[in-house]
Amino acid sequence: MNGTLTVVVVEEDRDRAIAIVDALKSATECDVHIIGNSSGLARKIAAHAPDIVLIDIDNPTRDMMEELTLASGPLERPVAMFVSGAAGGLAQTAIEAGVSAYVVDGLSPERIKPVMDTAIARFTMVRQMRNELAETRRALEERKVIDRAKGLLMKAKGIDEDAAYALLRRTAMDQGRRVADVAEALVTASGLLK
């Protein structure tokens, strides 16, 4: 199989999809297509006759792609899950990075590798950014709950903000819990007592 590889990227988030396409195009010679909407996924993928399909491992629509491994019509090409063996530990690295790849049967490991290396690097970055975002969001949420708990304590006990926070922190330490958890319990309990 010679010529340019055709790669399909299944990704709903447009910005992320573009980032992956850019990375692939600058690092390898391939045609890249994005599929953003999961309806009729297997059919849409088949229409591009790709050599490689890349999809986020956390994407629930991945199960729809399993049908591709069963393609048996004369014009359909069998697609195999990209497994270790021929291409060494690449599959495992890919799974850790959060990308799953489906590769058309018979494609040589030398041709797969550059595409996979790029995809793995890009997905690792995407995953890190997503984790950071989730972490920031959680921190913000906790901050809000702690502020509300402080407010409740200040009102109920007539103490100032620093004293309220010190009380929360001391309680958390005594009980071996996180300040945010104690605050959450207090806010919930006070909601019940209203």
Partner 1 sequence: MKTVTLSAAFMPLVDAAPLIMAQEMGFAESEGVALDLVAAPSWSSVRDMLAFGRVDAAHLLSPVPVAMAMGLGGVATEISAVSVLSVNGNVIGVGRELEERLRTRGFGFDFADPVAAAEALAAVRSGPITFGVPFPFSMHVELLRYWGAATALGDEGIVIRTVPPPLMASALAAGEVDAFCVGEPWGSVAVDEGAGALLLPGKAIWEFAPEKVLAVRRDWAETEPNLLGRLMRAVWRAGRWLSNPESRTTAGEILSRAQYLDVPSELIDRALSGHLTVSGRGEQRQVEGFLEFHRGAATFPWRSQAKWIAGQMARSHGLDLAAMPGDLAAAFRSDLYRRHLSGTSNDLPGASEKVEGAIRHETPVASAQGRLSLRPDRFFDGRIFDPNEAG
Residues that bind partner 1 (CB under 8 A): 38-40, 42, 57-67, 69-70, 72, 79-84, 91-92, 95-96, 100, 102
User: Cβ(57)–Cβ(99) under 8 Å?
Assistant: yes
159 in the Ramachandran plot: left (φ > 0), alpha (ψ -120 to 50) or beta? beta
Looking at the Cβ atoms of 61 and 190, the one nearer to partner 1 is 61
Residues 14, 22, 69, 5, CA torsion sign? positive
- The distance of closest approach from Cβ of residue 63 to partner 1 in the complex, given in angstroms and rounded to an integer, is 5
Instruction: Report which of 103, 142, 97 is spatially closest to residue 124, judged by C-alpha positions.
Output: 97
- The distance of closest approach from Cβ of residue 81 to partner 1 in the complex, given in angstroms and rounded to an integer, is 2
Identify the residue whose tokens are 């050599």. 51
Looking at the Cβ atoms of 4 and 69, the one nearer to partner 1 is 69
- The distance of closest approach from Cβ of residue 170 to partner 1 in the complex, given in angstroms and rounded to an integer, is 29
Looking at the Cβ atoms of 82 and 165, the one nearer to partner 1 is 82
- The distance of closest approach from Cβ of residue 185 to partner 1 in the complex, given in angstroms and rounded to an integer, is 17
**CA–CA dist 149, 163 (Å, integer):** 12
- The distance of closest approach from Cβ of residue 64 to partner 1 in the complex, given in angstroms and rounded to an integer, is 5
**CA–CA dist 79, 101 (Å, integer):** 10
Looking at the Cβ atoms of 54 and 153, the one nearer to partner 1 is 54
**CA–CA dist 38, 30 (Å, integer):** 23
User: Cβ(122)–Cβ(17) under 8 Å?
Assistant: no
Rg (CA), the chain: 25
Looking at the Cβ atoms of 67 and 117, the one nearer to partner 1 is 67
